[in-house]
Structure 1
Amino acid sequence: MKYAEEFRDPKAAKALLARIQDVVTEIGATKDKPVHIMEVCGGHTHAIFRYGLDKLTPEGLEFIHGPGCPVCVLPMSRVDECVELAEQEGVIFCTFGDAMRVPGTRKSLMQAKADGCDIRMVYSPLDALELARRNPDRQVVFFGLGFETTTPSTALSIQQAAREGLENFSVFCNHIVVPPPIKALLDDPHMVLDGFVGPGHVSMVIGIHPYDFIAQDYGKPIVVAGFEPLDLLQSVLMVLEQIRDGRAEVENQYARIVPEHGNPVSLAAIEDVYEMRPSFEWRGLGEIDSSGLRIREKYAAYDAEAKFGIGYGAGARVVKEPEGCACGAVMTGRMKPVQCPQFGLGCTPEMPLGALMVSSEGACAAYYQYGGARAAEPAE
């Protein structure tokens, strides 16, 4: 496959692995005292397991799986509110497929659809916009979900709805941003992190400078990475070389895609449509200041929170995790998926207990799909 096989060349991979081994040895990292590198993005987690990079890299290197899966960090209360919206008479509720099977306290969106709610899986908010045009007598609500990667498309859809005066289209905005949870993790005294592999798709929108605080304030290296095996191996090597040299910088391995200052058109749309919430709840991390986006007052007619009196606009509800669910601990890198007592037993892709087993970017789904490790043993 042209333009892909170049980044999957076994000979080049072996050379990078040899260099990684050399630098790990120079640092003095061992199995008992490894270097801890967090890959923030769930897409990177899946690539690591898909290509077996966790098994190929030396024992002195340990990957910590970060909170870079927007479906996974979605609190159960948000799912409950999605179901409540979908259950309202005359509503067509639109969502990306990943969110359909995430459990709420009562049911998932998939179960709500089976119960008769008009819930549509879409590939873009523009699909929801078209549904609003075709169904002027129905209220069409799009579930705005995701990091900075998906915020521009939702923003552009709201701008288009405003230009057309589509009064039956709105967005239930749960868009979140990446830098604040990284800061929350770095501020956690129990977290042991030596460096980061930064998200590629998010950085394509925002550029690399929003991560400057990681190097400047915390003295940790971060390398924005692509998603092919050679991308990840080179990025890990770049992080390790910074650690060896006593440097802490923001580097861009994915320069073929990620511009230094981001995408100006996307950033302009984001700035026009959204503003920061004072705080937002993240599954496993709790409330994080300035980590979520809300729709500006000028576009209030397209804000489902204001239109239906739901979500943070009506006072957000805090819902506890299901008993035995360790999504929060896995999300923050305190626990590997297989250390959860429910992994592969009470929680499987067919019958998920938590979001990490549902999402295509969830760490538990990666372990389960690619055989990262065996399921947890049943309790005695």
Structure 2
Amino acid sequence: MKYVDEFRSHALAKQLAVAIANTVDTERHYRLMEFCGGHTHAIFRYGVQNLMPSNVEFIHGPGCPVCVLPIARIDSAIRLVKQHDVILCTYADLMRVPASERQSLLKAKAAGGDIRMVYSTQEVLKIAEQHPGRQVVFFAIGFETTTPATAVAIKQAQALGLTNFSVFCNHVLTPAAMQALLDAEPPIAVDGFLGPSHVSTIIGSQAYERFANHYGKPIVIAGFEPLDVMQSALMLIQQLNSGRHEVENEYRRAVTHEGNQKAQTLVNEVLEVRAQFEWRGLGFIADSALKLKTTYAEFDAEERFDMVDVSVKDVKGCECPAILRGIKKPQDCKLLGTVCTPENPMGSCMVSSEGACAAYWSYGRVYSS
């Protein structure tokens, strides 16, 4: 298929592997964090790690919006369904993420809650129109990539006069998470970053320049195909060898320096930055998430239903928080493949289609040495 097969070419992969092997300094170890879960799955699915020299290591990061959502937010959504009899709509990935007391949205649905999987915000608006006597809440999640669609839905609901539609907003911001990783104590051992691709189509490569300059860490915006990942790794290695720390854009076919300014303007019109927000594994991070502006407060589920979070600890023994911080890898978790499986997940990293544990389970158990 045009524009896909070209980025999965076996011959080109071999050439890139040789180029990387010839470029690395055998006296040093390269720790490259692929920030986005999509990159993690590409690395495992196509065996990219096996094509790297032994001194090039990929570190999994927090770039999975389902994975970083704290248990408290899912608990709040379940209480919303039970206490207010709302129709709760969300994306499929979130349905099986464990909440407290071994609950999940899927189990709450099985127990009689009206919880529906949707593919788009437009479906949620139609459900609200079809059920004028019921309150319909969209459980919105995602990084900057999915945020514009939520902003559009809110503006459409206002134009349509949908008084029974609201949003439980859980959109989080990539740069804030990257800064939290770089400010962590003790410092996380990462030499450079493979920057997220889809997020960067919205916020542009310029959003990472302050991190490269201030922290001295090279960042390469990488596409999701295996050759994208390999080329980006080569670019990072070249920067590290020459002592540079710049933002480079490997994914130029989709990402620009400024990003999608129309989408940015739309989001800024409807949403604003929260003072702080809890991330699974990273704790509370200042200015790291979005909420509805007061001018759109009538569509804010947290305001309409007076929602309050109660902080909850992760499942004992689950290493998902440490995996999201780049401190551990899936094979370091004693629950993986025993208690924790895709059919019986203990943590969000096993559930999400972008989760590191899900990638390891699906493609990477051969790396268990």
Q: Give the TM interval when normalised to the shorter protein.
A: over 0.9
CA distance in 2 between partners of 1:70 and 1:228 (Å): 20
Partner residue of 1:320 out of 294, 313, 316? 313
Letter of the structure 2 residue corresponding to residue 208 of structure 1? S
The structure, 1 or 2, with the larger RCO (C-alpha pairs under 8 Å, 6+ apart) is 2
CA distance in 2 between partners of 1:144 and 1:54 (Å): 34
Deviations 1:99-124 (A, max 9, x none): 00001113100000000001110001
Letter of the structure 1 residue corresponding to residue 315 of structure 2? P
Letter of the structure 1 residue corresponding to residue 155 of structure 2? Q
Unaligned runs of 5+ residues in structure 2 are none
How many Å apart are 1:19 and its aligned residue? 1.0
Unaligned runs of 5+ residues in structure 1 are none
Partner residue of 1:192 out of 189, 193, 196? 189
* 1:240 paired to 2:233: no
* 1:352 paired to 2:327: no
Letter of the structure 1 residue corresponding to residue 169 of structure 2? C
The match for 2:336 is 343
- TM-score of the superposition, structure 1-length normalised? 0.94
Partner residue of 2:228 out of 231, 240, 243? 231
Letter of the structure 1 residue corresponding to residue 294 of structure 2? E
Letter of the structure 1 residue corresponding to residue 27 of structure 2? G
Secondary structure of the 2:44 match is helix
Letter of the structure 2 residue corresponding to residue 73 of structure 1? V
Kept after mapping to 1: 8 A contact 2:272/2:293:
yes
Letter of the structure 1 residue corresponding to residue 287 of structure 2? S
Partner residue of 1:103 out of 75, 95, 98? 98
The match for 1:175 is 171
The match for 2:284 is 287
The match for 1:46 is 41
How many Å apart are 1:56 and its aligned residue? 1.3
The match for 1:151 is 147
Secondary structure of the 2:100 match is coil
CA distance in 2 between partners of 1:374 and 1:150 (Å): 32
How many Å apart are 1:97 and its aligned residue? 0.2
How many Å apart are 1:288 and its aligned residue? 0.6
- Judged with a 3 Å threshold, the aligned counterparts in structure 2 of structure 1 residues 372 and 24 are, in CA distance, closer, same or farther, namely farther
Secondary structure of the 1:182 match is helix
The match for 2:355 is 362
- TM-score of the superposition, structure 2-length normalised? 0.97
The match for 1:212 is 209
Kept after mapping to 1: 8 A contact 2:85/2:113:
no
How many Å apart are 1:137 and its aligned residue? 0.5
The match for 1:330 is 323
How many Å apart are 1:374 and its aligned residue? 6.7
CA distance in 1 between partners of 2:339 and 2:17 (Å): 37
Letter of the structure 2 residue corresponding to residue 46 of structure 1? H
Deviations 1:221-251 (A, max 9, x none): 0000111111111111111110011111001
Determine what percentage of the aligned residue pairs are the same residue. Answer: 53
The match for 1:165 is 161
CA distance in 2 between partners of 1:374 and 1:117 (Å): 40
Kept after mapping to 2: 8 A contact 1:23/1:241:
yes
Deviations 1:165-187 (A, max 9, x none): 11000000010000111111111
How many Å apart are 1:88 and its aligned residue? 3.3
Deviates more, 1:60-69 or 1:185-194: 185-194
Letter of the structure 2 residue corresponding to residue 112 of structure 1? A
Aligned pairs, how many?
Answer: 367
Letter of the structure 1 residue corresponding to residue 19 of structure 2? R
**Which consecutive aligned stretches of 4+ in structure 1 deviate over 2 angstroms post-superposition?**
371-376
Q: CA RMSD in A?
A: 1.2
The residue correspondences of 1:71-110 to structure 2 (distance < 5 A) are 71-106=66-101, 107-110=103-106
* 1:28 paired to 2:31: no
Letter of the structure 2 residue corresponding to residue 249 of structure 1? E
Deviations 1:25-77 (A, max 9, x none): 3x632xxxx21000000000001000000111110101000000000001011
How many Å apart are 1:306 and its aligned residue? 0.2
Secondary structure of the 1:88 match is helix
- Judged with a 3 Å threshold, the aligned counterparts in structure 2 of structure 1 residues 373 and 321 are, in CA distance, closer, same or farther, namely farther
The match for 2:9 is 9
Kept after mapping to 2: 8 A contact 1:209/1:261:
yes
